[in-house]
Structure 1
Amino acid sequence: MKNLVSMKELSVEQIIAILEQAEAFRTGAASTLISKYTMANLFFEPSTRTKMSFEMAERRLPIDVLPFEAGFSSTLKGETLYDTVKVLEAIGLDALVIRHEQNNYFEELIGNVKPAIINGGDGTGNHPTQSLLDIFTIWQEFGTLEDKIVTIVGDIVHSRVARSNAQALTRLGATVQFVCPPEWQGEFETINSFEEAIETSDVLMMLRVQHERHDGLASFSKEAYNKSYGLTVDRERRMKDGAIIMHPAPFNRDVEIASELVECERSRIFKQMENGVYIRMAVIEMILKGRE
């Protein structure tokens, strides 16, 4: 594995290997990297969880991390992403984590630059490490993804999380179904009844309403959305025994999920965040090991 830009490029065997390495890191295994590496995290969109967990993963391996702030970089002077990456290549960086608003930004980089590219999220397209940490969380819970029903609810059309999970979960044996307002369906096939899905799903994965991608959402009503598609306390009570709640975060409390449920017994939201460090450690190590 030389880069990681989408879940489509990973085989089932590679996904399992990443999960197993993440579990090893979680239980205290040390990195086996021999060489000294330097990385940077290029985030051109706001991020808390992904950016900080990548940095924590890098420091735990350990890897030298060069700070990069898009708001103080030469991109403000018109420098292209490609040229920025070539600059970092020239000064000797080994790998880059990149989040960018442009879908498939990585296509002009792969094969043309020396540093490994790890996609931290591209537009509404892909978010492979989020998908891997979601899979890891479900795997921890049930020991398998075979025959598990995962229902993803919310702003599907703008969700790189939904796309990445759709590409991976079914290959691991899960049934994935989608629920959303009709205008947010996009290319996804959706089911008609959220109420039925609540009672049959092993995992309810709620998605944030991405206001920044809806041109202000002038007609959006938090109350109406919550009534039809929000995970309320009453809906949580109808979930099957052992079913869990997930959310990639950040979450809009009392819109897609009731505030009382964010840290309830079923919630694995903060476990997902913890698992993100171990998954990102595993991905970085596997990519860099290929360079030794």
Structure 2
Amino acid sequence: MKKELINNHIQLDDSGRLVHLLGLENLPKSHLLDILEKADGLIDANGHLKKSKALDDMSVANLFFEPSTRTRNTFEIAAMRSSANVINVDLANSALKKNEALMDTMQSLKAMQIDMFVIRHKQSGLPHHVAQHLKGVSILNAGDGTNAHPTQALLDMLSIRQHKPNFEALSVAIVGDIIHSRVAHSDIQALKTLGTTDIRLIAPDGLQYGAKNESTIKRFSDIDAGLKDCDVIIVLRLQKERMIEADIPNEQDYFDNYGLTKERLALAKPDAIVMHPGPINRGVEIDSAVADCKQSIILQQVTNGIAIRMAVMQILAQNS
């Protein structure tokens, strides 16, 4: 997919309203904060999610061309808690398997009175392509290739804000496969928009961030140096195929050099929080003692994922 299409600012209409959520690059700070505020209002004082009638009589279709558990389920729950009709499209037995073009399938689904499409695809820019050519519906990017995962980054920002409200004063460390991670790419964009000026990217050379030098971003190959006195640690899942590309011999070698242990967590500030997008590879990128410790907010992230996805869908419904 052409880079200019991925970066094309097609998620806002001529009035500046959010009509798709495709990525966080160039998304105005006001929109990002509106989503966080909306999501925060959907969680009661006891941490329970509220129900809403905001999507009553609307239909949301989930199209996951890649396997997913957390993201797909939380999108489905979010739509149902907002009173939408939810359709999980059976892609394994769809017309696409009969060589129908993707846009023909999308047009057919639209003709079935679908209002929103949630799309995950291995091709970077695919949701942007659909949004550009399919009019009258809202497109939500649930992860495209190595490009972006906007709702994951938004739920990460909501989770951070619940513990560390002043983003400008934060030191945030992201550990793991930075270069291939759509989560990392969207987190970096969100943190920059919110004013964070100390973003630390910790990875082996073969998995490090490949963008141009920026004053807000520091790169570390030494995890101990990168974690020192940080406020937030976001640990990324390591995929085995990426280990081969980065010339990492085995999982134990990666854990020895980049796994988050209790000893390494102690290098951060005493009140630092630990995050992970899931699913967790215990003993590969994070030790069980850390994943389950009091500083870990990993399960809180899961709940916040539902709130963020509810908020995004409700805002898009309001603007449709």
Structure-2-length-normalised TM-score: 0.86
Q: How many residues align?
A: 291
Q: Which residue of 2 aligns with 1:181?
A: 204
C-alpha separation in 1, matches of 2:246 and 2:90: 29
> What secondary structure sits across from 1:7 in the alignment?
coil
1:102: which partner in 2?
123
The answer to whether the 8 Å contact 1:39/1:66 transfers is yes
Provide structure 2 residue ranges, at least 5 long, that are not aligned to the other structure.
Answer: 1-17, 214-218
Deviates more, 1:104-113 or 1:120-129: 104-113
Cα distance in 2 for partners of 1:140, 1:284 equals 21
For 1:45 and 1:19, how far apart are their aligned partners in 2?
27
User: How do 1:5-20 residues align onto structure 2 when only pairs under 5 Å count?
Assistant: 5-20=22-37
Residues 270, 34 of structure 1: alpha-carbon distance in 2 compared, 3 angstrom cutoff:
closer
| Residues 107-135 of structure 1, C-alpha deviations (whole Å, 9 max, x = no match) | 32123213210000001110000000000
Structure 1 residues 43-79: Cα deviation after superposition (integer angstroms, max 9, x where no partner): 0111111000000000001100012122222222222
Distance 1:93 1:237 in 2: 50
Tell me the amino acid that sits aligned with residue 77 of structure 1.
K
Aligned-pair CA distance for 1:144: 2.4
2:4 maps to none
Q: Is the 8 A contact 1:148 1:173 kept in 2?
A: no
1:38 counterpart letter in structure 2 = S
Aligned equivalent of 1:287: 316
The residue matched to 2:169 in structure 1 has which SS? Answer: coil
**Residue 3 of structure 1: how far off its partner (Å):** 0.2
Cα distance, 1:34 vs structure 2: 6.9
1:207 paired to 2:224: no
2:84: which partner in 1?
63
Alignment of 1:1-292 (within 5 A): 1-27=18-44, 31=52, 33=54, 36-113=57-134, 114-174=136-196, 175-188=198-211, 190-212=219-241, 220-291=249-320
Aligned counterparts of 2:76 and 2:59: Cα–Cα separation in 1: 12
Query: Helix, strand or coil for the counterpart of 1:245?
Result: strand
Task: Tell whether the 8 Å contact from 2:127 to 2:140 is kept in structure 1 after alignment.
Answer: no
Report the CA distance shift for 1:237/1:21 in structure 2 as closer, same or farther (over 3 A): same
The alpha-carbon distance between structure 1 residues 99 and 242, as it changes in their structure 2 partners (threshold 3 A), is: same
Cα distance, 1:245 vs structure 2 = 0.5
User: Residues 254 and 289 of structure 1: is their aligned pair in 2 closer, same or farther, counting only changes over 3 Å?
Assistant: same
SS at match of 2:140: strand
Question: Closer, same or farther in 2 for the Cα pair 1:93/1:148, shift >3 Å?
Answer: same
Alignment check: 8 A CA contact 2:172 2:199 kept: yes
Q: Go from structure 1 to structure 2 and tell me whether the alpha carbon gap of 1:161 and 1:200 turns closer, same or farther (over 3 Å shift).
A: same
Q: Secondary structure at the match of 1:142?
A: coil
Give the Cα separation in 2 of the matches to 1:135 and 1:34.
24
- Runs of 5+ in structure 1 lacking a partner? none
Q: Is the 8 Å Cα contact of residues 82 and 108 (structure 1) preserved in structure 2?
A: no
> Once superposed, what is the RMSD of the aligned Cα atoms?
1.9
| Closer/same/farther in 2, CA of residues 69 and 214 from structure 1, 3 Å limit | farther
One-letter code aligned to 1:141: H
